[in-house]
Amino acid sequence: GAGVSQSPSNKVTEKGKDVELRCDPISGHTALYWYRQSLGQGLEFLIYFQGNSAPDKSGLPSDRFSAERTGGSVSTLTIQRTQQEDSAVYLCASSPNNSPLHFGNGTRLTVT
């Protein structure tokens, strides 16, 4: 079946602009995660959604970052007033309850 889908695959934006990254999880997966992958930094947790519960936002690095998940399915990660240090690969993953994560291909964000 279809895996986790992320769009766009690449995004180049100017410093100060807002960006939206989209994630379509695997159908039926109740948990959805956003991670940031930077060279030498590994995978940095950003935010976690589980069903209809309030999201765990403890990993968001600043208030410029926000995410929502509509109808328990598609999620959008928004970065406002982008900075060069936001450049990274943003990974989305989904899973059934208490199971290993299934990752998307990621969105490579470059802030110029």
Residues that bind another protein (CB under 8 A): 3-4, 31, 33, 35, 40-43, 45, 48, 50, 56, 59, 91, 93, 97-98, 100-101, 103-106
Instruction: Give the 3-state secondary structure of the chain.
Output: CCCCEEECCEEEECCCCCEEEEEECCCCCCEEEEEEEECCCEEEEEEEEECCCCCECCCCCCCCEEEEEHHHCCEEEEECCCCHHHCEEEEEEEECCCCCCEECCCEEEEEC
In the bound state with another protein, the residue whose beta carbon lies nearer, of 82 and 109, is: 109
In the bound state with another protein, the residue whose beta carbon lies nearer, of 27 and 41, is: 41
In the bound state with another protein, the residue whose beta carbon lies nearer, of 1 and 100, is: 100
